[in-house]
């Protein structure tokens, strides 16, 4: 027995949840295609939204699309569906990243279904967090969320956190010396306060957070030296909680795995009352990426640096309408 394919309105709601996922510079590099007769939803990379200077291997693009895929799975589970997921189903078409067969008859994943309310609440917060320790049980729950997706989440010690903060600063200096990277960042970030109406992608000025005062912070400064009248200054937490998300290998399928793990961690963190921001800045430069990993850990490839804590939620970033990203056949 096979479940009936979900109707177009249901799939539209699934895709709306998918597009709430984070992506590098909020480029939203995804499109979806629903084959309604057979109940298959496909996820494709939108190469027109790639960042060739910042992300030349498309690692960040795959991570963002993996995060969108996790949201699809959460939404489907919350609707009582148990989709069969295939990653990179056709090697001849590398932009065809995944497909979900939505007519499965198995039991839905209850743990995933419980995360659905967090999808719309999750926003990157580039605001200062409180200097408040995250309980061990909460940290373990986040690590478990990553393991459930086939990835690792580690919390490095204080000395390595300081090393990561220095690497963020080094990456900022490398970016400052790379006009092509700065130009690409400026194209996807909007320094106006408030942001222009009708903009459906990129990072709005309200989401940049304040300028850092004092010590370094694991927060990317999207202003990149541009003037932003009215932008405040603030001191960030002295002892930030940093987590490293990683995988055993470093191929496109592993990047999709990492993206799903990243979003599952972020949704779990949101459900636990935490706020978060991510930075790939030190991972975008070969000379700093390998140093980010904790040398005493078994993590082979760091895929994302995550800052976690307690503090104010960040503002929502714009999203493209579902009609712009979903085709129904």
List pLDDT tens digits, range 248-261: 999 999 999 999 99
Residue 282 per-residue DSSP state: G
Query: Would the pLDDT of 68 be above 90?
Result: yes
Query: Would the pLDDT of 214 be above 80?
Result: no
* Domain hosting residue 258, numbered range: 136-309
**Within a domain: residue 29?**
yes
**Residue 1, pLDDT score:** 40
- Asked if 113 and 160 sit in the same domain, the reply is no
Query: Would the pLDDT of 189 be above 70?
Result: yes
Per-residue confidence band for 27, with pLDDT thresholds at 50, 70 and 90:
very high
- Asked if 285 and 144 sit in the same domain, the reply is yes
Q: What sections of 5-115 are H helices per DSSP? A: 8-18, 59-78, 110-113
* pLDDT, tens digit, 9 for 90 and up, residues 303-320: 999 999 999 999 999 999
Q: How far apart are CA 303 and CA 299, in angstroms?
A: 10
pLDDT-above-70 percentage for the chain? 98
Cβ(216)–Cβ(235) below 8 Å = no
- Asked if 209 and 298 sit in the same domain, the reply is yes
Q: Cα torsion for 135, 138, 139, 141, to the nearest 10°?
A: 160
Cβ(83)–Cβ(100) below 8 Å = yes
**Within a domain: residue 126?**
no
Per-residue confidence band for 298, with pLDDT thresholds at 50, 70 and 90:
confident
Mean pLDDT of the region 90-117: 96
**Within a domain: residue 210?**
yes
- Asked if 108 and 228 sit in the same domain, the reply is no
**Within a domain: residue 97?**
yes
- Asked if 68 and 192 sit in the same domain, the reply is no
* Region of poorest pLDDT, from 54-68, 146-160, 168-182, 213-227: 213-227
Mean pLDDT of the region 155-181: 93
Per-residue confidence band for 109, with pLDDT thresholds at 50, 70 and 90:
very high
Residues in CB range of 42: below 8 A, 6 or more apart = 32, 33, 34, 35, 96, 98, 99, 100
């Amino acid at each position: 027995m096979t479940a009936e394919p979900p109707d177009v309105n249901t799939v539209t709601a699934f895709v709306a949840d998918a597009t709430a996922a984070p992506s590098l510079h909020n480029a939203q590099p995804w499109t979806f295609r629903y084959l309604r007769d057979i109940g298959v939803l496909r996820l494709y990379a939108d190469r027109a939204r790639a960042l060739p200077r910042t992300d030349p291997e498309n690692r960040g693009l795959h991570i963002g699309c993996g995060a969108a895929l996790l949201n699809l799975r959460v939404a489907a589970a919350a609707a009582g569906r148990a989709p069969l997921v295939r990653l990179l189903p056709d090697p001849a078409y590398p932009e065809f990243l995944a497909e979900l067969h939505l007519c499965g008859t198995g039991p839905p994943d209850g743990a995933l279904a419980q995360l659905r309310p967090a999808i719309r609440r999750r926003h990157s917060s580039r605001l200062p967090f409180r200097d408040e320790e995250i309980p061990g049980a909460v940290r373990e729950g986040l690590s478990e969320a990553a393991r459930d997706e086939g990835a690792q989440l580690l919390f490095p010690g204080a000395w390595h956190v300081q090393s990561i903060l220095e690497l963020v600063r080094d990456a900022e200096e490398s970016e400052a010396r790379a006009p092509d990277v700065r130009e690409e960042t400026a194209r996807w970030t909007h320094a106006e306060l408030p942001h222009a109406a009708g903009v459906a992608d990129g990072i709005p000025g309200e989401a940049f957070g304040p300028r850092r005062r004092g010590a370094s912070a694991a927060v990317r400064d999207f202003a990149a030296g541009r003037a932003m009248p009215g932008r405040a200054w603030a001191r960030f937490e002295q002892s930030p909680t940093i987590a490293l998300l990683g995988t055993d290998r470093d191929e496109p399928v592993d990047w999709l795995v990492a993206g799903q793990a990243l979003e599952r961690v972020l949704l779990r963190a949101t459900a636990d009352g935490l706020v978060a921001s991510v930075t790939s800045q030190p991972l975008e430069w070969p000379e700093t990426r390998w140093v980010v990993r904790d040398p005493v850990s078994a993590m082979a490839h760091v895929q994302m640096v995550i800052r976690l804590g307690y503090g104010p939620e960040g503002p929502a970033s714009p999203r493209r309408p579902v009609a712009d990203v979903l085709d129904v056949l």
